[in-house]
Structure 1
Amino acid sequence: MSGPIKGVLLFLSIAQFVLGMLVNVFIVLVNGSGWVKSKKISLSDFIITNLALSRIVQLWILLFDCVKDIFFRSLFNNGALIQVIDIFWTFTNHLSIWLGTCLGVFYCLKIANFSHPTFLWLKWRVARVVVWMLLGGLLFSCSDAMSLILQFKMYYVLQRANDLGNVTEHFRELRNEYEVIHVLGTLWNLPPLIVCSASYILLILSLGKHTRQMQQSRTSTSDPSSEAHKKAIKMVLSFFFLLLFYFLAYLLTSSHYFLRGTGMTKLISEVSTMFYPACHSWILILGNSKLKQTFVELLWCKSGHRKPGSKERFSP
């Protein structure tokens, strides 16, 4: 890999890391301070805060992985430290995806309107449904992380046989099985992807139904319910497409187990995966009135101006 390419990839990874850290730390500080002051926190703010915390961990691990692959590939190729980081990364990665999915389901059940008994049952118990989803996502994340232990055991067997030069037919079969298990581990992300797709479809259908009702009653379609639908659709849709992009980049990162000589593809994919935890958090701020207002006030304070419409305060 040439030096200029390394420099560009390192610059992109550091830039995404800094932007992602700024926005996620901001979310944690704003919601955390509000939680401490009021001694309570809404379910949506709780999910967003934990989502930001998980992404802070993700960004640190991704930055470490990029720096390792660029400068210290041979030094940190194997070892217990890398295995611990892999387990920690797998857990936080899966948990982050489930937290984003739970947020989409929360918006869907809060805003969408359907007369189906099942949907009404879920809507009336939205807090309980989302909490159970969070617990289920936590269980899935733990299971996904623990499944790496089997892969590590298989890897040790393969590494030892390879060092001894004992490349038998059984060795080849075990290596193929190891590679398939490693890549199929990405399928743990399919359930939240499907649930997110369902939430988006339901919001679209609910908005279409509400718009038709407004047109039949000759009422303006810019009512608060329509605006809430559109806002929720933008939030869920942005998460869905970013998650899809992230999922594809993650698949490319794992492709080097099948395709030899794809070190460059793996590194580019690792840099691309940082776009999701950094960019989606900015979208969360724009879609959350409290976070957006605090962010705008912070910008006005940093620029040395008062917020428009605010009154001048004098200290005694």
Structure 2
Amino acid sequence: MLSAIQIIRTIILIITGPCGIVLNSCIVAVHLSHWKKGVSLGDCDQIILIMGVTSVLLQCSLTFNGIADNFELYGHFDKEIVFVNDMFFLFLNFFWIWLTAWLAICYCLRLVNISHRFFIGLKKRISSGVSLLLLGTAVILGVINIPIFWTLNIKAKQNITSTLPVDFLISDSDIKYLSFTAAFGCCLPTLITSLCMGLSLMSLLKHVQKMKQNHSQSWSGKMKTHARACMTIFLLMALNLFFFLTIFSIILSKFEIENNWNTLIFCIIMASPSGQALILLFGNSKLRSDLLKTCF
């Protein structure tokens, strides 16, 4: 018979799994429909498309881990296979955060008027080579994550109180390597995102000052775009950072978390891909209207 915690987790899986997959699949479907019609996708649209695909894969990985963890199925898998699954999950997490950073850069270059030669050249390079940038980011993150397979010692899970499927025997050298991967995979893109968001906010404040000088009370379309983009990037950054810190704290604490807190963390982690989809939909009016047209 299932325990109360297992029943709660089962309900969470039933709700968050399909919800995250469907919402992000809809975002992917909208952009693919434009591509099939011959409409060229802009740099931001390409990034949002890849974000949708990444979120679908991440939700599938989370759901698989959640089911196996909740029903104690890991005894049927080799621990190396489970560990590879976890490394794939960490790769998706890092890539998720870097995609937010690239989206923040694209929004910043589009919204902020900077006449410096460096920013003009950067804008042209990103607009023409966003696919190569995303591919290069994925390759670098993959290369960084592969050595973790040999640096961490693995032991089989002895209980069902963990959010991730295996327990790690973490040495001091492993912590240093994990800190390096966390710095590159999370801290650096978060810093870039914060910088871009700050520049966008400065541009928005300049427009507000001009409005006050002109005694205008109405918001222009450009200002609304600035505000919506800043809010979208801020929410994505907050979600990704909170998601990663939750995972990283679980690993460093060696999964010694009480059942009640573990269930709450389980719910937050499982709902994160759905949260990203909702942020993108509510932050992008064009994407939202295209989705409604596609569905109805």
TM-score of the pair, normalised by structure 2: 0.82
CA distance in 2, matches of 1:98, 1:108: 15
Question: In the alignment, does 2:196 pair up with 1:199?
Answer: yes
Moved more, 180-189 or 235-244: 180-189
- 1:135-146 counterparts in 2 under 5 A? 135-146=135-146
C-alpha distance in structure 1 between counterparts of 2:125 and 2:19, whole Å: 37
1:271 and 2:258 matched: no
| Inter-CA distance 27–175: structure 2 relative to 1 (3 Å threshold) | closer
Q: Offset of 1:272 from its aligned partner?
A: 1.6
Aligned to 1:27: 27
Which residue of the partner structure matches residue 295 of structure 1?
291
CA distance in 1, matches of 2:42, 2:257: 49
Post-superposition Cα deviations, 1:13-67, rounded to whole Å, max 9, x if no partner, equal 3311111111111111121122122163222221111111111110111111112
Q: 2:241 maps to which residue?
A: 244
Verify: 1:282 aligned to 2:275, yes or no: no
Return the alpha-carbon distance in structure 1 between the equivalents of residues 38 and 267 of structure 2. Answer: 39
The runs of 5 or more residues in structure 2 that have no matched partner are 156-168
Residue 234 of structure 1, aligned match among 219, 223, 231: 231
CA positional deviation for 1:78: 5.0
Does the C-alpha gap of structure 1 residues 3 and 179 become closer, same or farther in structure 2, counting only changes over 3 Å?
Answer: farther
Return closer, same or farther for 1:128/1:30 CA change in 2, 3 Å cut-off. closer
State the alpha-carbon separation in 2 of the partners of residues 177 and 76 from structure 1: 31
Q: Which of structures 1 and 2 has the bigger CA Rg?
A: 1
Counterpart secondary structure, 1:203: helix
Alpha-carbon spacing, 1:218–1:129, altered in 2? closer, same or farther (3 Å): farther
Question: For the Cα contact (< 8 Å) 2:201–2:230, is it kept in 1?
Answer: yes
Measure, in 1, the Cα distance between the counterparts of 2:138 and 2:51.
12
Does structure 1 conserve the Cα–Cα contact (< 8 Å) formed by 2:97 and 2:237?
A: no
1:100-148 Cα shifts (integer Å, max 9, x gaps) = 2211211111012245554444345441575564244223321232122
Stretches of structure 1 lacking an aligned partner (at least 5 in a row): 160-173, 302-316
Give, in whole Å, the separation in 1 of the partners of 2:40 and 2:34: 8
Higher relative contact order (CA 8 A, sep 6+): 2
Match of 1:61 in 2: 61
Instruction: Tell me the TM-score normalised to structure 1 length.
Output: 0.77
**Deviation digits for residues 216-237 of structure 1, max 9, x if unmatched?**
2334451122111111111111
User: % of aligned pairs identical?
Assistant: 24
Correspondence 1:218 to 2:215: yes
Partner residue, 2:8 = 8
- Return 70-79 or 88-97, whichever deviates more: 70-79
**1:38 counterpart SS class:** coil
Residue of structure 1 equivalent to 2:163: none
- How far the C-alpha of 1:271 sits from its partner, in A, is 3.2
Matched, 1:186 2:182: yes
From the superposition, tell whether residues 291 and 102 of structure 1 become closer, same or farther in structure 2 (CA, over 3 Å): same
Question: How many Å separate the matches in 2 of 1:204 and 1:75?
Answer: 51
Q: CA deviation at 1:267?
A: 5.4
